[in-house]
Amino acid sequence: ASLVANLLFGNLSDRTRSRFGRRTPWIFWGAILAGVTLFLIGVVDNAWLIGIIYCVCMFGLNMMLAPVIATLSDRVPDDMRATMSAFNSAGTTVGSSLGTLIGAKFITIQIPGFATAGILMGLAGIATIVVWPREQSSKDLPPVEGGFKEFLASFRPPMHNARDFWLAFTGRTLLIFSYYMILNYQLYILESYIGQSKTAAAATISVMSVVTMVVALIGSLTSGAISDKLGRR
How confident is the model over 23-66, as pLDDT tens digits? 999 999 999 999 999 999 988 989 999 999 999 999 999 999 88
Chain centre distance of CA 209: 18
Amino acid identity at 232 = R
Residues 166-191, buried b or exposed e (16+ Cβ, 10 A)? eeeeeeeeeeeeeeeeebeebbeebe
**61 occurs within a structural domain:** yes
- Give the number of other CB atoms < 10 A from CB of residue 196: 17
Question: Residues 6 or more apart from 154 whose CB is under 8 A from it?
Answer: 11
Boundaries of domain holding 92? 2-156+196-230
Q: What are the distances in angstroms from CA 91 to CA 97, 230, 232? A: 10, 23, 22
Q: How many CA atoms lie within 13 A of 112 on its CB side?
A: 7
Residue 144 pLDDT greater than 80, yes or no = no
Give domain status of residue 184, yes or no: no
The pLDDT assigned to 3 comes to 84
> Is there a domain that residue 209 lies in?
yes
- Does any domain span residue 93? yes
When the pLDDT of each residue in the chain is averaged and rounded to a whole number, the result is 87
Q: Tell me what percent of the residues of the chain surpass a pLDDT of 70.
A: 100
Q: How far apart are CA 64 and CA 46, in angstroms?
A: 27
Inside any domain, residue 162: no
The C-alpha angle with vertex 41 and arms to 107 and 24, in degrees rounded to 5, equals: 110
Q: Cα–Cα distances in Å, from 182 out to 63, 94, 141, 178, 197?
A: 26, 17, 44, 7, 18
CB atoms under 10 Å from CB of 143, counted, come to 7
pLDDT at res. 160: 86
Instruction: Kindly write down the DSSP assignment for every residue of 169-204, as one continuous string.
Output: HHHHHHHHHHHHHHHTTHHHIIIIII---HHHHHHH
| pLDDT (tens digit per residue) in 68-117 | 888 877 888 888 888 888 888 888 888 888 888 888 888 888 888 899 99
What does pTM read for this prediction? Answer: 0.76
Is the pLDDT at 151 greater than 80? The verdict is: no
19 within some domain: yes
Q: How many domains does the chain have?
A: 1
Residue 176 in any domain: the answer is no
pLDDT reported for residue 28: 94
* pLDDT of amino acid 93: 81
175 belongs to a structural domain: no
